[in-house]
Structure 1
């Protein structure tokens, strides 16, 4: 594979790394350096890639990106009791055009995903999610995206794509590989009523900030069904980040955003994770450290993954049937982890996206509500989406 599009980690970061404790995370990484080139990826499970592209930010005024401060913060952290090998492959530089950068990112991610290496993408503007999504064209027939964001980013698909309108392009451009899109932590006043109505009409999932603040565990089953997780740093409240990064007084605090990141890591399906809208400032160590900790918790989650969704052998699960009106809802509970799923039936007479019945991650509360005669909303939306 040709990784020529990747620029090595800077010498100043590598010099800083040499001064760290032998136990620090940075000393345990396989790092792309000018001296040694791209590291051998045999045995690597997670690869960090920076993308120095922000020209499609609607507020772009020519500022340059760099991830040196961020890397220094991440490298200085101590790893948990981890068994996964991690590589830092350096940065993808801006291409002659934004499309060139998209192409470089898409082809790089496609190879990593095929090798079952999970990329952690550092951005840059969030329209890079579009290139991330396109990397799955040859790897997965149907893709689920979870966006941790205060905005839906639907935008106007009739005009050129920007960081606040990439979703419209994903939905409307062939090949149509998007099955589900979920937004975690949206804030109503940042989204037009038309966008909110369209999310509802497409049976996409949207969880308001207050809803997630009250019950953060509802994020777990949503993440369990995701292939791509894209995180916009504007969803973090202004008091948690540096001067240039401040966006809204309301948002997730540091603890919540790290919990959400860990849920993404724990998911057996998540195969790429992007952190976007980083706006570096020379003395802003708080934002760099927060991103470092978000990445740390994602890696921690990956190390805690448990294969618990094998329902071929009934010694691995308990099955529950619930009758509501004319519907029979079938729930499965993993004996190993206690996590729950609900079956989405196959509709043979409909030109649907699913070729067989499939299992949708859910919570124990969904089973309890179904037992009291209430159809779970996640099941309803998945069922309706499958009926298109």
Structure 2
């Protein structure tokens, strides 16, 4: 297995780890060290992977960074009553070129996902999401991405890729594997009206910060439907993070970002998870601790995954049919978890990207809206994308 790209976790962190209590997370991980090499991945469920690449930052001025503080904070936490085995594979260093780093990341993610191991990517800049997406080229036919971010990051796809403009490349570069792109926590004043209109015209989903803060549960269906979840730390409000990390007085708070991470973990579909735009500073304990807690909640979610999306057995679900404007909407409710889905109909005359009946995660509220003759927004967008 080709993991030559990976460098071990620093001896400094490992020495710190030795001083931790025996129940701490760091003492239970399989860690890539200089002494022992890359750990055995047999029965590993989750692998942490640092990527020290930040050259595509629009403000890049040659600064280096490392992830030691995050590792120290994370290793010092205590696990929940978990039954997952976690490995820390160390870091992918900057390649000769940024493309080399992308290639290395793509290879490692592809190997891990094939082995049913969920990679958690701790990144430099968020354009690494592009390499994460490309790792799926030969894995799944259509990919759904959720970006937790104050901006859409669409950018001008004709220009070179940057950390604030990588999504345009994802949409327009072949092979075209993107089905849905959802942004959670966007702030209108950071996005041009053209970008907001483009998101609408492509039938992508976007959840404003205000919507998310007033009802965090609205983002759960989008996360349940995602293959890749990418978090930009600048979506967190300035008061919650350290000096270099401060971006905006408004943003998600610590509880909200951790709840989003837990929803991503619980999703049976999420198979890679990334946290990007980490910028260490002298007073850094607070950001590294927040990142550690985001990781903790994601892993907690993975431990509570319930396989409730098998609808082949009628005893597993209840089925509801609602007529809205001469359109028959079919809802399913899992008996195990109470989660809801809605059916997207099959259009035989269209070059169809989806299976015969694709089930789209939704909320109980979508069913109640349908009963009041309101077409659920997620259903409408998925239906339109499927008709294109």
TM-score when scaled to structure 1? 1.00
2:111 and 2:69 mapped to 1: Cα distance? 28
Q: What displacement does 1:99 show?
A: 0.3
Question: 1:50: how far off?
Answer: 0.2
Structure-2 separation of matches of 1:55 and 1:382: 35
How far 1:326 moved relative to its partner? Answer: 1.5
Deviations 1:78-115 (A, max 9, x none): 00000000000000000000000000000010000000
**348-357 vs 211-220, which moves further:** 348-357
Matching of residues 205-216 of structure 1 within 5 Å: 205-216=205-216
Q: Give per-residue Cα distances to partners, 1:105-145, cap 9 Å, x unaligned.
A: 00010000000100000010000000000000010110000
Residue 29 of structure 1: aligned partner:
29
In structure 2, the residue matched to 1:175 is 175
Residue 315 of structure 2 aligns to a residue whose secondary structure is coil
- Structure 1 gap ranges (5+): none
Residue aligning to 2:343: 343
Gaps of 5+ in 2: none
Runs of 4+ in 1 over 6 A off after TM superposition: none
Name the counterpart of 1:116.
Answer: 116
Separation of aligned partners in 2, 1:383 and 1:325: 15
The residue that corresponds to 1:332 in the other structure is 332
Find the aligned partners of 2:272 and 2:51 in 1 and give their Cα distance.
14
Secondary structure, aligned partner of 1:156 = coil
Q: Does residue 315 of the first structure (1) align with residue 315 of the second (2)?
A: yes
Q: Are residue 187 (structure 1) and residue 192 (structure 2) matched?
A: no
282-291 or 370-379: bigger deviation: 282-291
The more displaced of 259-268 and 346-355 is 346-355
- Determine if the alignment matches structure 1 residue 377 to structure 2 residue 377: yes
CA positional deviation for 1:355? 3.3
Structure 1 counterpart of 2:260: 260
Residue of structure 1 equivalent to 2:138: 138
Alignment match, 1:13: 13
SS of aligned partner of 1:300: helix
- How far is 1:283 from its partner? 3.1
Preserved CA contact (<8 Å) 2:243 2:283: no
Looking at structure 1, the residues matched to 213 and 198 of structure 2 have their Cα atoms a distance apart, in angstroms, of: 24
Partners of 2:21 and 2:283 lie apart in 1 by 23
Distance (whole Å) between structure 2 residues aligned to residue 140 and residue 318 of structure 1: 29
Offset of 1:294 from its aligned partner? Answer: 0.2
The structural deviation recorded for 1:357 is: 1.4
Partner of 2:367: 367
Counterpart mapping for 1:18-57 below 5 A:
18-57=18-57
RMSD: 0.5
Query: Aligned partners of 1:355 and 1:19: how far apart in 2?
Result: 52
Residue 386 of structure 1 aligns to a residue whose secondary structure is: helix
Residue 58 of structure 2 corresponds to 58
Residues 28-72 of structure 1: CA deviation (Å, up to 9, x unaligned): 000000000000000000000000000001011111110001100
**Separation of aligned partners in 2, 1:279 and 1:4:** 26
Which moves more between the two structures, 214-223 or 32-41?
214-223
Please give the secondary structure, in 2, of the residue aligned with 1:16: helix
Distance 2:165 2:348 in 1: 35
SS in 2 for 1:184: strand
Alignment partner, residue 97 of structure 1: 97
| 1:63 match: secondary structure | coil
CA distance in 1 between counterparts of 2:375 and 2:135 reads 35
Cα deviation digits, residues 163-183 of structure 1 (max 9, x gap): 011000000000000000000
Whole-Å Cα distance in 2 between the matches of residues 387 and 5 of structure 1?
42
> What displacement does 1:352 show?
2.3
Give SS of 1:315's match: helix
> When the two structures are aligned, how many residues end up with a matched partner?
388
